[in-house]
């Protein structure tokens, strides 16, 4: 696949179509793009759902034996095939060795959370010692906030984006309330301007300039779950630091999706789940990061057995011999079965390389954008339309494009599900479509568009 420094994917796609003398809107173009794709073989490393196994397909409209059009990696990534083997290894080891499973390879239970630090550190741009697998996303967010959110009467506010994912909003508000502050006053949310879908960076910076001396913590999403907007994490972190704020990022929709450089950006803390773009399975272990500059920071937070240094943990001391940095936030022993699931995906990322995935993502999501604009932006009064609410600027998005429709969202979602498309909707009115470069193809995108055309024609007929 061609490498490029171009910021407009359509120019690159059009150039490829011209070189091969093929219509960019044709199935032949999708086939050529897939043949050129150096990452195409990674699709075989994942288990694809079949139309016949999905609960919402109409078996009269699809071939039950064909793979579905899976465009929902933003919500749950597909299962790596090696996950079966790695999980079975842990079950077998437990069965065969009992308590000795705590100390035997592969993934000894007593220290399995040390595995994958190198790979995960590369995904988020951090020293391996600064990241760990533990708990779930919101548990980690609370644990980190208990340390970094140290409000005073003068500096007590928390800044996050408007319409943040509910768990983030609930976490921030409950943290403020636990510290004795009114959440309606303490939690500041920055929203898009009227009649706009995404938040302008300049408005975030302006709010930081105005309120920064009252803000204790800035804790936003790296990629906004609803619109798919990627925030300028480096710029926002610097602006917040300039006003004396701590900065944390919820990377749930960013990790494995966009470039992340936590150390370079001097971020204070971050956390993420691993079941979306990282493909570790529903509810799998979350990840956490604490900047190494805070390794000796003396702020009280919750401790457990796993907060103790690994070298002295089994000395069973009365007082915790607290580990440095992020490892001090661990509370209990990690489940090796869940670490095995994370390992299966991390190995694939290591092999594919994030820089290669970003190159493909640029063209794959750009291809989806072009087809949607071409086929569903009609100026005709009675024609169904789709509007992309994700930024056109490729530096402000990852894989995901979010749409609103001129026809009822639930009706469109129901009909494309019948035809083998897996995606999701989020209230009040967005459908999220996510071609993931690890396992999605240009053919997937083309097939989705053909199905959406069919459904739009049906909606138009029924609405006539």
Q: How far is it, in rounded angstroms, from Cα 236 to Cα 245?
A: 11
Residue whose entry in the numeric block shows the structure tokens 């399995």? 112
What value does the mean pLDDT of the chain take?
Answer: 95
Mean pLDDT throughout 98-103?
A: 96
Measured CA angle at 371 (ends 431, 23), to 5 deg: 160
pLDDT of 165 strictly over 50: yes
Q: How confident is the model at residue 464 (pLDDT cuts 50, 70, 90)?
A: very low
All structural domains of the chain, each given as residue ranges with its CATH number in brackets, are 9-67+353-463 (3.90.1150.10), 85-350 (3.40.640.10)
pLDDT of residue 463: 58
The answer to whether 248 and 47 have CB atoms below 8 angstroms apart is no
294-334 residue pLDDT tens = 998 877 889 999 999 999 999 999 999 999 999 999 999 99
pLDDT of 436 strictly over 90: yes
Q: How confident is the model at residue 381 (pLDDT cuts 50, 70, 90)?
A: low
Helix 117-124 and helix 336-352, axial crossing angle in degrees, nearest 10 = 50
Burial 119-135 (b: 16+ CB within 10 A, else e): bbbbbbbbbebbbbbbb
pLDDT of 170 strictly over 60: yes
The answer to pTM > 0.75 is yes
Burial 380-400 (b: 16+ CB within 10 A, else e): eeeebbbebbbbeebebbbbb
What secondary structure letter does DSSP report for 407? Answer: S
The answer to whether 102 and 108 have CB atoms below 8 angstroms apart is yes
Q: How far is it, in rounded angstroms, from Cα 442 to Cα 369?
A: 12
pLDDT of 379 strictly over 70: no
> Is-cis flag, bond preceding 428, omega within 30?
yes
Q: How far is it, in rounded angstroms, from Cα 290 to Cα 288?
A: 7
Q: Is the dihedral of CA 46, 51, 55, 57 positive or negative?
A: positive
pLDDT of 161 strictly over 90: yes
What secondary structure letter does DSSP report for 416? Answer: H
């Amino acid at each position: 696949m061609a490498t490029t420094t171009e910021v407009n994917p359509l120019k690159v796609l059009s150039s490829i179509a011209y070189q091969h003398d093929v219509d960019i809107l044709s199935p032949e173009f999708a086939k050529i793009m897939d043949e050129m794709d150096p990452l195409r073989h990674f699709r075989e490393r994942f288990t694809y759902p079949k139309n016949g196994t999905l609960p919402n397909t109409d078996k009269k409209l699809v071939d039950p034996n064909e793979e579905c059009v899976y465009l929902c990696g933003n919500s749950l990534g597909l299962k790596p095939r090696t996950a079966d083997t790695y999980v079975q290894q842990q079950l077998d080891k437990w069965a065969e060795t009992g308590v000795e499973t705590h100390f035997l390879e592969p993934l000894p239970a007593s220290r399995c959370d040390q595995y994958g630090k190198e790979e995960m550190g590369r995904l988020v741009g951090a020293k391996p010692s600064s990241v760990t697998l533990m708990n779930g996303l919101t548990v980690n967010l609370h644990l980190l906030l208990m340390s970094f959110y140290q409000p005073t009467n003068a500096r007590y506010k928390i800044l996050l984006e408007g319409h943040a994912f509910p768990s983030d909003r609930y976490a921030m508000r409950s943290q403020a309330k636990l510290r004795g502050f009114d959440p309606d006053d303490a939690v500041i949310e920055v929203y898009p301007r009227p009649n706009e879908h995404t938040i302008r960076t300049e408005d975030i910076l302006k709010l930081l300039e105005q309120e920064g001396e009252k803000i204790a913590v800035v804790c936003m999403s790296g990629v906004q779950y609803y619109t798919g907007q990627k925030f300028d994490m480096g710029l926002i972190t610097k602006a917040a630091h300039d006003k004396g704020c701590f900065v944390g990022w919820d990377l749930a929709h960013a990790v494995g999706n966009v470039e992340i450089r936590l150390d370079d950006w001097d971020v204070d803390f971050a956390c993420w789940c691993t079941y979306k773009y990282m493909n570790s399975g529903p509810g799998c272990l979350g990840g956490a990061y604490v900047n190494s500059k805070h390794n000796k920071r003396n702020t009280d937070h919750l401790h457990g057995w796993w907060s103790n240094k690994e070298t002295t943990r089994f000395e069973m001391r009365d007082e915790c011999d607290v580990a440095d940095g992020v490892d001090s936030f661990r509370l209990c022993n990690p489940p090796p079965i869940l670490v095995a699931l994370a390992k299966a995906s991390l190995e694939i990322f290591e092999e594919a390389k994030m820089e290669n995935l970003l190159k493909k993502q640029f063209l794959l999501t750009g291809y989806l954008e072009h087809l949607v604009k071409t086929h569903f932006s009609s100026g005709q009064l009675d024609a169904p339309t789709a509007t992309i609410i994700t930024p056109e600027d490729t530096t402000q998005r990852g894989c995901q494009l979010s749409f609103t429709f001129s026809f009822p969202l639930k009706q469109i979602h129901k009909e494309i599900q019948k035809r083998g498309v897996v995606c999701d909707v989020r209230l009040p009115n967005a459908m999220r479509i996510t071609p993931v470069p690890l396992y999605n193809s240009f053919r997937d995108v083309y097939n989705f568009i053909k199905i959406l055309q069919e459904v739009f024609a049906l909606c138009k007929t029924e609405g006539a």
